[in-house]
């Protein structure tokens, strides 16, 4: 049962990340996803310090805001201070992450709940420790599962409702502005969703590997389809596939679960890439053969 | 001239990047129902002026009026065609997907595209001759076909004023004349088209009115007034041999211009 809940929780993380990752990838903002996932740390620590519990709404809001703040600072650096784009990203998130580390070391001294290890790498194996039990004895799954579900509903709902907006923002921002769409609102809303997703995912998969969930499945999906809706579906499929196969591999080889998931994800990408190459060169050859 | 209202009024427009002005004190009025060309050398601020007119860049001073009003009041009557290279054509979308974007508005984003939208999009695709490619992924089109997709998207906007940034780049001669007759047809319906153009040899054939830029406004007016050796050398600098060739060419071409009924 615990296995099932762990896989289910991680699958929802994977789906949330995959859906948003598609738009990050298409907007060439993969590294901004990385930046956000690191920059939420100070928000998490500060909110945790004041609220004293992991699951609080205050923590979610605080951390999400600090993620959005990071994208705001990145924009500021690159637009106003004319720092090169990737340098602006590197500066911002290392700075915010470092502040978070210092805050952990000072505010969280001797606190077992939140430490650097858990922030960086998550603790998927411990997800089941924090159980929700109703009627005194009916176990309905870990708390993280429900947090993820709520976040998942928000992400999924936003993408369904705002599909046209996110599509146009990703394809042609200037044109979107020209027809009167408030692109900066859409931009910060998307960034907020990414921040929310990484915040709720961090205790499951950690701040470092969440990027693997955000970027690898959409990149794999892009190899197999030329349609946006299909790309969203495929990204989810590849994400969940990596979760299930990664979990089994981790149990079998007795290694880090998240590590195994991201490794599998990367391997799937390589495999799909290889297959597509093979198919393409085969069909090219058959065309040439047919012409001869 | 129909009424006193201009399609575009640009007043004392100055636009800077990082405090460095790339457009300086530009001033012009453009009449409705004309095909207007904006010309000038690379980096002369043509794209910038279009973006400023479309409100994509904030001017450091001056203002723009469209149909006598602020852009926000008449946005639905204006269509903008960005430079083709400004987007990633590997984006997962079909020709129809992109043309349908011409039906998007700030106010209808949350509803699905309806039957009317689809019909208008398909008609626009037909007008640029891409019907057989309508379901093709946009990365699998040639450069000229991609350019036509952008034009179809603008047509789908059913605007009264069209602003196009180099719509003829990478387009073959046949397509160029097809697009041009499309624009003529639009003009005959009273629509106004503003085009950034590079090919000086064709300007006097294509346009009713010209704006010649090089950071400053060098000249504006009908082609024969603008295309003088002096104006061109002011705009394009010293390459006089090249310029005098162009002026000669233009002079040779003046006859067909007159024939088309442009009152000189
Ligand atoms: N985002 C930007 N930041 C800084 N400078 C810019 C930016 N965009 C354009 N410029 C500068 O502004 C000037 C005008 O650029 P603009 O793109 O308007 O020229 P253009 O006339 O459209 O040129 P082209 O014929 O090459 O398209 C150029 O000198 C360019 O280097
Ligand atoms: Mg330009």
Q: What is d(CA A178, CA B102) in angstroms, rounded to the nearest whole number? A: 11
Question: To the nearest whole angstrom, how far is the Cα of B94 from the nearest Cα of chain A?
Answer: 7
Mean pLDDT of the A150-154 span? 94
Query: What pLDDT score does B200 carry?
Result: 87
Domains in chain B with CATH codes: 8-251 (3.40.50.300)
DSSP string, B19-33: TEEEEEEEEEEE-TT
Instruction: Nearest by CB to A174, from B56, B93, B101: name it.
Output: B56
Q: Which residue of A has its CA nearest to B93?
A: A227
Q: Which residues of A touch B53 (CB under 8 A)?
A: none
Q: Which residues of B touch A179 (CB under 8 A)?
A: 75, 104-106, 157
Contact between A232 and A14 (Cβ < 8 Å): no
Ligand 1 centroid to B86 CA: how many Å?
Answer: 13
Q: What is d(CA A213, CA A17) in angstroms, rounded to the nearest whole number? A: 6
By percentage, how much of chain A surpasses pLDDT 70? 87
Q: Model-level pTM?
A: 0.89
pLDDT band at B259; cut points 50, 70, 90: very low
pLDDT band at A270; cut points 50, 70, 90: very high
Interface test with B, best of A163, A178, A181, A185 (most B CBs within 10 A): A178
Q: Which residues of A touch B94 (CB under 8 A)?
A: 226-227
C-beta contacts of B47-53 below 8 A and 24+ residues apart: B47/B83, B47/B165, B47/B196, B48/B15, B48/B22, B48/B23, B49/B10, B49/B13, B49/B15, B49/B23, B49/B213, B50/B80, B50/B163, B50/B165, B50/B194, B50/B196, B51/A174, B52/B13, B52/B15, B52/B23, B53/B8, B53/B10, B53/B163
Mean pLDDT of the B76-85 span? 94
Whether pLDDT at A8 is above 80: yes
Q: In this structure, which residue's CA is closest to atom 29 in ligand 1?
A: B43
Mean pLDDT of the A90-107 span? 87
Query: What pLDDT score does A55 carry?
Result: 63
Query: What pLDDT score does B101 carry?
Result: 96
Of B24, B38, B43, B197, the residue with max ligand 1 atoms within 8 A of its CB, to mutate for a pocket test, comes to B43
Average pLDDT value for chain B: 89
Mean pLDDT of the A72-79 span? 85
Whether pLDDT at A171 is above 90: yes
Q: Which residues surround ligand 2, an ion (CB under 5 A)?
A: B 47
Q: Which class in CATH covers the domain with range A2-207?
A: mainly alpha
pLDDT digits (tens, 9 = 90+) for A23-34: 999 999 988 888
Q: Which of A69-83, B68-82, B212-226 has the lowest mean pLDDT?
A: A69-83
Minimum-distance ligand to the CA of B211? Answer: 1
Whether pLDDT at A112 is above 90: no
pLDDT digits (tens, 9 = 90+) for A211-255: 899 999 999 999 999 999 999 999 999 999 999 999 999 999 998
Q: What is d(CA A234, CA A228) in angstroms, rounded to the nearest whole number? A: 10
Domain ranges of chain A: 2-207
Question: To the nearest whole angstrom, how far is the Cα of B87 from the nearest Cα of chain A?
Answer: 6
């Amino acid at each position: 049962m615990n296995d099932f809940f762990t896989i289910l929780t991680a699958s929802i993380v994977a789906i949330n990340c995959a859906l948003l990752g598609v738009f990050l990838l298409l907007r060439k903002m993969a590294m901004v996803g990385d930046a956000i996932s690191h920059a939420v740390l100070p928000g998490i620590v500060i909110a945790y310090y004041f609220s004293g519990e992991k699951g609080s709404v205050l923590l979610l809001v605080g951390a999400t805001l600090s993620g959005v703040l990071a994208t705001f600072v990145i924009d500021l650096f690159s637009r106003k201070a004319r720092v090169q784009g990737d340098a602006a990203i590197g500066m911002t998130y290392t700075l915010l992450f470092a502040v978070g580390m210092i805050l952990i070391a000072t505010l969280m001294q001797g606190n077992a709940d939140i430490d650097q290890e858990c922030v960086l790498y998550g603790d998927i194996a411990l997800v089941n420790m924090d159980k929700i039990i109703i009627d005194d004895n009916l176990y309905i799954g870990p708390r993280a599962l429900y947090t993820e579900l709520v976040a998942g509903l928000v992400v999924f709902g936003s993408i369904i409702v705002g599909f046209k907006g996110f599509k146009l923002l990703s394809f042609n921002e200037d044109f979107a502005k020209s027809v009167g769409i408030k692109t900066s609102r859409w931009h910060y809303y998307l960034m907020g969703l990414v921040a929310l997703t990484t915040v709720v995912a961090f205790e499951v998969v950690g701040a470092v590997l969440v990027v693997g969930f955000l970027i690898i499945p959409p990149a794999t999906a892009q190899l197999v389809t030329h349609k946006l809706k299909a790309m969203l579906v495929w990204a989810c499929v590849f994400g969940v596939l990596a979760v299930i196969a990664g979990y089994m591999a981790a149990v079998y080889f007795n290694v880090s679960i998240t590590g195994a998931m991201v490794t599998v994800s990367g391997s799937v990408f390589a495999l799909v890439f290889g297959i597509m190459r093979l198919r393409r060169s085969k069909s090219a050859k058959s065309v040439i053969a047919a012409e001869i | 001239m129909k009424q006193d209202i201009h399609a575009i009024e640009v007043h004392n427009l100055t636009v800077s990047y990082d405090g460095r002005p790339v457009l300086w004190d530009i001033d012009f009025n453009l009449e409705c129902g004309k095909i207007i060309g904006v010309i000038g050398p690379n980096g002369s601020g043509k794209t910038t002026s279009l973006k400023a007119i479309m409100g994509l860049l904030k001017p450091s001073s001056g203002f723009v009026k469209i149909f006598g009003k602020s852009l926000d009041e008449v946005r639905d009557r204006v269509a903008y065609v960005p430079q083709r290279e400004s987007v990633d054509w590997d984006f997962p979308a079909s020709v129809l997907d992109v043309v349908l974007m011409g039906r998007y508005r700030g106010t209808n984003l949350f509803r699905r595209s309806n039957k009317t939208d689809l019909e208008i999009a398909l008609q626009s695709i037909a007008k640029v001759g891409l019907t057989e490619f309508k379901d093709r992924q946009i990365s699998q089109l040639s450069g000229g076909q991609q350019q036509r997709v952008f034009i179809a998207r603008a047509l789908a906007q059913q605007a009264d004023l069209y602003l196009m940034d180099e719509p003829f780049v990478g387009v073959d001669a046949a397509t160029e004349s097809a697009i041009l007759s499309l624009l003529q047809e639009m003009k005959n319906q009273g629509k106004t088209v503003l085009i950034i153009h590079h090919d000086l040899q064709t300007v006097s054939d294509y346009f009713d009115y010209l704006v010649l830029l090089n950071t400053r406004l060098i000249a504006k007016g009908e082609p024969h007034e603008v295309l003088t050796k002096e104006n061109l050398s002011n705009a394009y600098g010293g390459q006089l041999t090249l310029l005098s060739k162009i002026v000669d060419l233009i002079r040779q071409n003046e006859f067909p211009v007159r024939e088309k009924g442009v009152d000189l």
